[in-house]
Structure 1
Amino acid sequence: MIRLLYFPTLNGHKVAIALEEMGLPYEVEIVDILKGEQDAVAFRAVNPNGKIPALVDGDVRVFESAAILQYLGRKTGRFYPADEGVRTQVDSWLFWQMAGLGPMSGQLNWFTRAAQHPDREPAETSLPIHRFRKETERLFAVLEKALEDRDYLCGDYSIADMCVWPWIEKYPDNGGGLDAHPAIADWHARIAERPAVQRALDVGADVIAAYQNKAS
């Protein structure tokens, strides 16, 4: 059975979505990153980079969410087209998210939260926030253009959509809001309605709920 080493973050959601969409049986092992469990020796044996998610499938060990999506797509033959021309487009969007939208949007959120400290400069005058906001807005414009004439990024629904969607789901305002991006909004709503996506978002939701209850 596939073992998903997981915490309910955006990168974790990607893999849960893929597993649910592909109908693969799997078991979840929560790696509580808020308690530092990603630094445990057993986890580092699977992912030496110490980040979730990671996946164990028999003798196979995979880390980095896009690599896991590619592996699952090859394993099942689903949502990862065999045609090389289309597959390279899927791969391009995977790396676009991993190298662009994820880091830029993530840094924007980190610096926005950090800049709220009373001893720091106001958020909107912060140079890092300005930098990451402008770049995230640019990336949203790229995504909007790509979706203007299609339902999904590469024609049919694929692991490319699974990779990008959680970052739009969680932080829709980072690129200026979905009202300003009607093609992204339609694509986002289309994917949000998928039962497998809804099931995936429930994976580990109890862990977050427990932390929220402690904080309240």
Structure 2
Amino acid sequence: MIELYSWATPNGHKVHIMLEECGLPYRVHAVDIGKGQQFEADFLAISPNNKIPAISDPDGPDGQPISLFESGAILLYLAGKTCRFLPDSTTGKYEVLQWLMFQMGGVGPMLGQAHHFRIYAPEKVPYAIDRYTNEAKRLYGVMNKRLARSTYIGGPDYSIADMAVWPWLRSWKNQGIDWADFPHLKGWYDEIGKRPAVQRAVEVLASERKPLMDDQAREVLFGASQLSQHLAPKKR
């Protein structure tokens, strides 16, 4: 039984999708990031970066337990454990991995900044809004061109690259996107959204998530609370 520590966010949904697609039994532990539960000692023991998701698998490699944080690492682990959604061929594997890294290094961070400055920032900063909205559109354009000649993000077959990207595009309105500009990407997005496992996955913890617009949640997510967890105590 996989122990999943997560919340209903794009990075959480990436792992929810993989677990649902694989059919692995798992138990969900809610980590309410708006209330600061990501800073609790038990969670930090398996996720030192105080970010969701994280997993513990009592039946890890060689039968030994393992805990993992970082959604990309978890996707790779689950793909290896189940021998699914990552090609066997070396060429195919690296084709998928480059697009997984594209999501981790570009799509997630940049769309996250677009969300922050367009929706959550307490004051509107025109430069930042323009900067990250334009970057969101650029990334959508990269994916649209890719899908003009590839059935899926990572190649001819559905893979962990698709699972990684798709949840981040669910908030396309918040990112300033007009789907009419990205028809190939929109077709892919709609197809993935019809998968039963994906539909189940996005409901995981969805009923518990509340809008993160109050001052306390902003402080926990974007304020000094994030920094204070990782600073050494000052000497007296």
**Deviation for aligned residue 1:113:** 2.4
Q: Distance in 1 between matches of 2:166 and 2:159?
A: 11
Would the alpha carbon gap of residues 97 and 172 (structure 1) be closer, same or farther in structure 2, given more than 3 Å must change? farther
Q: Separation in 1 of the partners of 2:120 and 2:33?
A: 19
SS at match of 2:29: strand
Q: CA RMSD in A?
A: 1.6
Q: Which residue of 1 aligns with 2:100?
A: 94
Gaps of 5+ in 1: none
Assess, with a 3 A threshold, how the Cα gap between structure 1 residues 53 and 146 changes in structure 2: closer, same or farther.
same
Q: Call closer, same or farther: CA 1:77–1:177 in 2, change over 3 Å.
A: same
Q: Distance in 1 between matches of 2:78 and 2:5?
A: 15
The one-letter code sitting in structure 1 at the alignment partner of 2:192 is I
* TM-score, with structure 1 as normaliser: 0.90
1:196 pairs with 2:197: yes
Give the paired residue count: 205
After superposition, the C-alpha distances for 1:113-162 in whole angstroms (9 at most, x for unaligned) are 255x5xx45x5xx1112211121111111000000023211110000000
Deviations along 1:11-40, one digit per CA (max 9) or x if unpaired, are 000000000001100000001111101001
User: What TM-score, normalized by structure 2, do the two folds share?
Assistant: 0.83
What does residue range 73-152 of structure 1 map to in structure 2 within 5 Å?
73-114=79-120, 117=122, 120=123, 126-152=126-152
Choose 147-156 or 32-41, whichever is displaced more: 147-156
- Comparing 67-76 and 131-140, the one that deviates more: 131-140
Pairwise CA distance, 1:9: 0.5
2:149 is paired with a residue of what secondary structure?
coil
- 2:45 match: secondary structure: helix
The residue aligned with 1:160 is 161
In the TM superposition, what is the alpha-carbon distance from 1:176 to its structure 2 partner?
2.9
Q: Give 5+ residue unaligned stretches, structure 2.
A: 59-64, 215-236
CA contact 1:94–1:163 (8 Å) conserved in 2: yes
Equivalent residues of 2:21, 2:198 under 8 A apart: yes
| CA 1:160–1:172: 2 relative to 1, 3 Å | farther
Q: Distance in 1 between matches of 2:193 and 2:146?
A: 19
Sequence identity (%): 45
Which shifted more, 183-192 or 164-173?
164-173
CA deviations over 1:73-117 (Å, ceiling 9, x no partner): 0000000112111111111111111110111111111111255x5
